[in-house]
Structure 1
Amino acid sequence: MKYGGVWDVVMCLGVVLVLLQCSIAVAEVVTCSGMVPMVYRSDKISISDFGAVGDGTTLNTKAFREAIYRIEHLRRRGGTLLYIPSGVYLTESFNLTSRMTLYLANGAVIKASQDTSNWPLIAPLPSYGRGRERPGGRYMSFIHGDGLHDVIITGENGTIDGQGDVWWNMWRQRTLQFTRPNLVEFKDSRGIIISNVVFKNSPFWNIHPVYCSNVVIRYVTILAPHDSPNTDGIDPDSSSHVCIEDSYISTGDDLIAVKSGWDEYGIAYGHPSDDITIRRITGSSPFAGIAVGSETSGGVTNVLAEHITLSNTGIGIHIKTNIGRGGIIRNITVSNVFMDTVRKGIKIAGDVGDHPDENYNPNALPVIKHVRIKDVWGQKVLQAGLIKGIKNSPFTDICLANVHLTGSSGSRNGPWTCSDVSGGAVQVSPSPCSELISSSQFGACSVPF
């Protein structure tokens, strides 16, 4: 098996996650299942009805496109469910349509073709101004939705496999002509549910809702090797009312990263990410567990991340931006985090990430304020934390409470490093930097915990 014992790890961490949920509270576990209702669709069709063959070698692009064309044009009341039976269905990229459910049965695999020569190109996102990796357009995501509503991707833990190694090698060899495709992207869409599916080996970011609203992602597993480049797990981008919960993610980049546009393009587009809930996530990554940024030019507000379990991760909690980004990062709360074997526990920095071109405005300074990080426990943490603000735009109202990060075998870890920041801290070990004024009443923090 390519991942070795990863499924054993998933099962083990799944048990840990269940136990963690039980210890959170005696009361009923809070979920966001009511944000977007799961719709029952009485009209059902099977991909087999359109000639698809699940032998892993037959190319089924025509079958997928014809089935979705049928759903789009017949417009059955209540929409239509497209059933993918057990088998391995090789296909090129395809578009979804509104009022449909893509349902993967137990043992069903939708596998991306590795022939990149026919991969469709689409325009760059206006909030990025160009492809994220290369100038110009970008390759369309493997499964794509643009301007849709009422779409569900679910099933019995079937798999969507991006077969991304061919793309990773192009990136490593610097032969990419355009930005790599995401595994799943919804753009300008609303009323989206993604649940009970395994996503693996994405060419680039795994799940990317951009300019979307009312999105629920839950009970998913996302897998990619730790050396796979830029395989972020879930990236809500210039989107609002997004809930991500009860999932396991192990990838080569940030597990979850909230974004909102890149430098002058994101500032001009002006579409923030707002009301993002992240809860009961377990995972591992050489980069960040929970991240905000670094592309935050449209602004990021009102993010809640809670009950997070991380292991073998680069940075546990990472809020990142840069000069030229502009935008405001405000009202970020991260709580009830456990991390084990982490390079850096907490990092909030204003010097992270590159620029799309030389036209960014060096006077467009980001603002970070009202950040709450509380109830965090870590062991085998190499450095507790770093908070590095911007000289002419210091980070304000950064408050830490009940944060305890120990080194290996209880030894001391690297001290906190801070600059251009103000806020408060209480019950933090090792002792935080002097810029964070300790106060049992959180007097330095204008918004209480």
Structure 2
Amino acid sequence: MSFEVKVALLLLLAFGNEVRVNGDGGGGRQCEINPALKSRPHTVSILEFGAVGDGKTLNTIAFQNAIFYLKSFADKGGAQLYVPPGTWLTQSINLTSHLTLFLEKGAVILGSQDPFHWEVVDPLPSYGRGVEVPGGRYQSLINGYMLNDVVITGNNGSIDGMGLAWWELYSSHSLNYSRPHLIELVASDHVVVSNLTFLNTPAYSIHPVYCSNVHIHNVSISAPPGSPYTVGIVPDSSDHVCIEDCVIETGYDAIALKSGWDEYGIAYGRPTENVHIRRVHLQASSGSTIAFGSDMSGGISNILVENVHLYNSRSGIEFRTMRGRGGYMKEIIISDIEMENIYTAMGATGYCGSHPDEKFDPNALPLLDHIILQDMIGSNITIAGSFAGLQESPFTNICLSNITLSINSVSSIPWECSNVSGFSESVLPKPCPDLETPNSDCLSLQSIKGKTSVL
């Protein structure tokens, strides 16, 4: 029996075992199982509750009254709140279950720039304090807590956070509490965000935290290059998440996967897992287009990223962690990637982030293991890869294949490696020796995830 036939049989056997265990061969293909949206039997317009779309009138009470009224339809198939063309200034909005918030083309929900219009809420339990300022945090513009069946969609309407005032407060160290986000849904199930434009977020644009069954698709997210630490989509201690067909351009990270901060994330113990990202175009001015961590103390696993275009960014794909984080990042496949004008194409560091307080355990070491990066091309790249693991917890099973990166003239050392091990095949420029050790675990992970290329 030839070597090629033996390999094919091993792949088929492992793939068949995965089908029997999980009931499908997707191994993380969450985007392929999202159901179609159902129409709501009841619809009301925000105009019926006295809202004025002139960009000056504060419409918070109108939104609150409309949503309170629509709660009565929860057991009747749910209801839709229709927002017509106009500019609708508001403070924070709290959604309800079995609700569709629909923004018509030309409709803009505008966040107030006055911090006194934003309620202060408790820190998330997996973070222990506000991420930017100790203590509480400003409530986000659109919120949901312990909801089921929530849809935020439209005909390409917009949600604008008017972030400039918040960016100035952050940059001048004048924040009283951590900045709000545009959308934050907490401990909610069956969430859809689609067909909208998100502009000028104070911090994150879309933040599902402790959520399950989240589908984010066909959204456009934009924040200026100079906006400090603005992030697009942040799946945080959430599972069964699909992100597809999106265009994201932000000041810091485009998509960032997280799961809690040091001892608080370890104690909360909820990972981010079963995430599928595909067909997205990402630009991150000062951060990474796709980031894992650095807040990952609850763990991140079973992630599939494919068919992605990354451009004009400091970093392409980056794994971030540090001593005291604990947790893990493992069983991650990143495939079919096109990069243009990226300083560092891919990397991982064990020296990124800060601690919430002095109560963290310095012996809580993170694990980075079983990461596949394959089928990539890149042009105008300065550093192909930078991998710096911890001496006490090296990064292991970094598997690279079929990668061709065109390095620009600025580059002096295309690869940087320390405390890392893995295997590579058909990679240009040639990786550092640490990533050229034959490793059968790369083959086993490929087969489990239903991929067919062989390392």
State the TM-score, normalizing by the size of structure 1. Answer: 0.90
Counterpart residue type for residue 164 of structure 2: D
Higher RCO, 1 vs 2 (CA within 8 Å, ≥6 residues apart) = 2
Where 2:281 maps in the other structure, the secondary structure is strand
Aligned partners of 1:381 and 1:413 also within 8 Å: no
Note closer, same or farther for the CA distance 1:239–1:251 as it changes in structure 2 (3 Å cut): same
1:223-248 CA deviation, whole Å, 9 max, x = no partner?
Answer: 00011112110000000000000000
Residue number in structure 2 paired with 1:291: 291
Aligned counterparts of 2:268 and 2:351: Cα–Cα separation in 1: 22
Aligned 1:253-332 pairs, distance under 5 A: 253-286=252-285, 287-332=287-332
AA in 2 matched with 1:313 = S
**Counterpart-to-counterpart distance in 2, 1:59 and 1:414:** 55
Give the drift of 1:33.
Answer: 6.2
CA positional deviation for 1:382: 0.8
Partner in structure 1 of residue 348 of structure 2:
348
1:414 counterpart SS class: coil
Equivalent position of 2:420 in the other structure: 421
Which residue in 1 is equivalent to 2:236?
237
1:317 Cα shift?
A: 0.6
Letter of the 2:130 counterpart: G
| CA apart distance, 1:294 | 0.6
CA contact (8 A) 1:36 1:191 kept: no
Whole-angstrom distance in 2 between the partners of 1:32 and 1:385: 29
Match in the other structure for 1:25: none
Moved more, 399-408 or 373-382: 399-408
Question: Contact 2:30–2:276 at 8 Å: present in 1 too?
Answer: no
- 1:228-277 per-position Cα deviation (integer Å, ceiling 9, x unaligned): 11211000000000000000000111110110000010001101011011
Mapping of residues 63-142 of structure 1, within 5 Å:
63-75=62-74, 77-142=76-141
Secondary structure in 1 matching 2:169: helix
How far residue 404 of structure 1 moved from its aligned partner, in angstroms, is 1.3
The structural deviation recorded for 1:73 is 3.5
Give the secondary structure class of the aligned counterpart of 1:39: coil
Amino acid in the other structure paired with 2:76: R
Give the match's secondary structure for 1:62.
helix
Q: Which amino acid aligns with 1:269?
A: Y
In structure 2, C-alpha distance between the alignment counterparts of 1:127 and 1:443, rounded to whole Å: 36
* Corresponding residue number in structure 1 for 2:375: 375
- Equivalent residue pairs, number: 417
Q: Deviations over 1:95-152 (max 9, x none)?
A: 0100000000010000011111131011100000000101111111100001101000
Change (3 A) 1:370 1:33: closer
* Contact 2:258/2:300 (<8 A) preserved: yes
- How far off its partner does 1:75 sit? 3.2
- 2: distance between equivalents of 1:416 and 1:74? 58
Structure 1: stretches of 5+ with no match in the other structure: 1-29
* AA in 2 matched with 1:445: C
Q: TM-score, normalised by structure 2?
A: 0.89
State the distance in 2 between where 1:390 and 1:412 align: 25
Contact 2:374 2:402 in 1 (8 A): yes
Matches for 1:156-167 after TM superposition, within 5 Å: 156-167=155-166
* CA distance in structure 1 between the aligned counterparts of 2:371 and 2:360, rounded to whole angstroms: 26
Matched residues in 1 for 2:380 and 2:87: separation?
Answer: 41
CA pair 238-448 structure 1, distance change in 2 beyond 3 A: closer
Percent of pairs identical after alignment? 47
Whether the 8 Å contact between 2:73 and 2:79 is mirrored in structure 1 is no
Q: CA deviation at 1:36?
A: 4.4
| CA drift at 1:443 | 3.9
Structure 1 distance, partners of 2:69, 2:380, is 54
Distance 1:295 1:175, change over 3 A: same
Write the letter of the residue equivalent to 2:222.
L
